[in-house]
Amino acid sequence: MSDRLAALRLFARVARTGSFSAAGREMGLSQPSASRILANLEDEVGVVLLARSTRAVTLTDAGKLYLERIDPILLAIDDADHAVRGNGELSGQLRVGASISFAAREVIPRLGHFLESHPRLRIAFVFSDHLQDLISDSIDVALRFGTLEDSSAVARLIGTPRRFLAASPAYLNRFGAPKSPADLASHSIIMGPSGFSREAWVFQRDGQTMTVRVEGRITVSVNEAATAAALAHLGIISTGLWGCRADIESGRLVEVLPDWEMGSKAVHAIYPPGQPIKPSARALIDFLVEELN
């Protein structure tokens, strides 16, 4: 990669992360090296592109215009590189934001064929069960469950896995299986971020709707821990198929109240607003849509 092209890519990342060190880490550079490269770029362009302070790095008006003009160029270069390889091979690093459980159980086990087709591509997962800031976390595409809060977000629907209650056979043998949603009041409930609500669960059957207020005996901040608690026979969880498919298929967990519906929760791929979509991000999502559905 030419020094000027590398400098342009670095500038775009600093502009979006607001940090020389964060952008430098993505490109294998130290903070002083990143700062020096961009100072040289500003010398070549002849204007100040970045306003530096002890608290943040922000774009000047000239920097905003420059970023707006170079974004399509960088995307066109990526697309051109991708096209002329002939075999559709992708390269570079792709940063993917995802929940721990979904990525570990459904995404990563399916990546073998995708990575074999693109040996020059590197994927870095950024795990969180909470909303991530795609810009400051330098994420190229995030996999998110639930209703999109930002209607202007660039998004693609991956699927709508259904939700249900689950518990281990040992727990149900000891405490009995609830016969109706109302019976949940006498059970140990494991509350995790995947539940529709921390205060109430809504069930439907044959046109009837029942809302049950639940109180978690165990509360966790990541879905994988909720599943682990259920596997340890500690109670009943609200989960989605893409969070515990292997455990259901193996019988380690079984569905509770199978005659009642809890609806579904959409899964979207979210792209950072205001910047081009990486070809590798688009290709990965195309792959996952086909694999998961």
Q: Which residue is listed with tokens 């682990």?
A: 228
- Residue 150's pLDDT band, with cuts at 50, 70 and 90, is low
pLDDT digits (tens, 9 = 90+) for 161-186: 899 999 999 999 999 999 999 999 99
pLDDT at 293: 80
The values of phi and psi at residue 284, to 5°, are -65, -40
Q: Locate CATH 3.40.190.10 in the chain.
A: 88-159+266-293, 163-256
For the whole model, what pTM was predicted?
0.70
Q: How far is residue 163 from each of residues 10, 23, 235, 247, measured CA to CA in Å? A: 42, 38, 17, 15
Q: What is the pLDDT of residue 129?
A: 67
93 pLDDT higher than 90: no
pLDDT band at 23 (very low <50, low <70, confident <90, very high): confident
Q: Using an 8 Å Cβ cutoff, are 121 and 94 in contact?
A: yes
Task: State the pLDDT confidence band at 1, using cuts at 50, 70 and 90.
Answer: very low
Domain with CATH 1.10.10.10 in the chain: 1-84
Burial of 250 (0-12, 13-18, 19+ CB in 10 A): exposed
Residue 175 confidence (pLDDT): 96
Question: DSSP code of 261?
Answer: B
What single string gives the DSSP state of each residue in 220-242? Answer: -SSHHHHHHHHHTT--EEEEEHH
For residues 231-260, give the mean pLDDT. 94
Model confidence band, residue 82 (pLDDT cutoffs 50, 70, 90): low
β-partners of residue 155 are 270
Confidence of residue 2 (pLDDT cuts 50, 70, 90): low
Taking residues 252-264, report their average pLDDT. Answer: 94
Instruction: Return phi, psi of residue 289, to 5°.
Output: -60, -45
**pLDDT tops 90 at residue 277:** no
Superfamily of domain 163-256 in the CATH hierarchy: Periplasmic binding protein-like II (3.40.190.10)
Sign of CA dihedral 273, 25, 3, 62: positive
Reduced to 3 states, what is the DSSP secondary structure of residue 122?
Answer: strand
CB-based contact 51:14 (threshold 8 Å): no
Which pLDDT score is estimated for 198?
57
Output 17 or 112, whichever has higher pLDDT.
112
Task: Look at residue 243 in the predicted model and tell me its pLDDT.
Answer: 85
Tell me how far apart the alpha carbons of residues 47 and 50 are, in angstroms, rounded to a whole number.
Answer: 9
User: Yes or no: is domain 88-159+266-293 CATH 2.40.50.100?
Assistant: no
Closest CA to 267 of 205, 202, 194: 194
The CATH code of domain 1-84 reads 1.10.10.10
CA distance 89 to 106: 23
DSSP strands (E only) in the chain: 50-52, 57-59, 91-98, 120-127, 141-145, 154-159, 163-167, 189-191, 200-205, 208-213, 218-219, 236-240, 254-256, 267-271
